[in-house]
Amino acid sequence: MYFQSVTFDLDGTLLDTIADLAEGCRLMLEEIGAPPRTPAEVHSFVGKGMAVLVERCLTHGGQPPSEAQMLTAIDAFKRHYAAVNGRLTRIYPGVSEGLEAWKASGLKLGVVTNKPAMFTDALLDHVGLRHYFEVVVSGDTTAHKKPHPEPILYACRKLGVDPRFNLHIGDSKHDLHAARAAGCSAYAVPYGYNEGEPVDSADCDALVSDLLAACRQALTIKDLHHK
């Protein structure tokens, strides 16, 4: 079996967005008068989408925020993050080269992220990567977010590819669990966020140093299939 399509996680896989996220959180917490969080804390909070990020920022001593606090904080975060989205973001090493190689291979490419669509499209446009992808699935595109398989299954339907022939690449256990549940192969990159937990090579089909290495690995599999 070889791949017909590849779906990529966004934050922590294609893009290092932590500086923008930390600044959005800082401005949000400052506006609502909540205690600040360090960039390292925000780094460990990223992974399950905007609402979880905000909730983790507001949770102290095991005491979660009230519904009213959450609504106020989410509204503030949306405004502040929209203003800084992409400003401090950087493309990870190997991503541009990797996407060029993937595109040249003829495979269909997509993004599957837990980031809300109001931020995803603007960010991909800002960094100049949007043109690589035939489909972009955001955190609010389907009823569920990763680690639920539905976002990846949705991407496969849009790409017209059986999930068995899709490869998903991410930086976290949520990506790996979503890919497995969707019936896809899964590669992991060792950098990124993953809520402070290193990715275990036992949980994926391959642990690759970057996207270019991932492409070379996948194309090697394809070549072996044809021999």
Residue 195 CA: distances (Å) to CA of 42, 46, 199, 211, 214: 9, 6, 10, 21, 22
What is the per-residue DSSP string for 82-141? HHHTTTS-EEPTTHHHHHHHHHHHT-EEEEE-SS-HHHHHHHHHHHT-GGG-SEEE-TTT
Is residue 151 reached through a cis peptide bond, with omega within 30 degrees of 0 on the bond before it?
A: no
Active-site position among 9, 171, 175, 205: 9
Q: How many Cβ atoms are within 10 Å of 175's Cβ, its own excluded?
A: 33
Number of H helices, E strands in the chain: 9, 8
20 is catalytic: no
Among all residues, which ones are annotated catalytic? Answer: 9
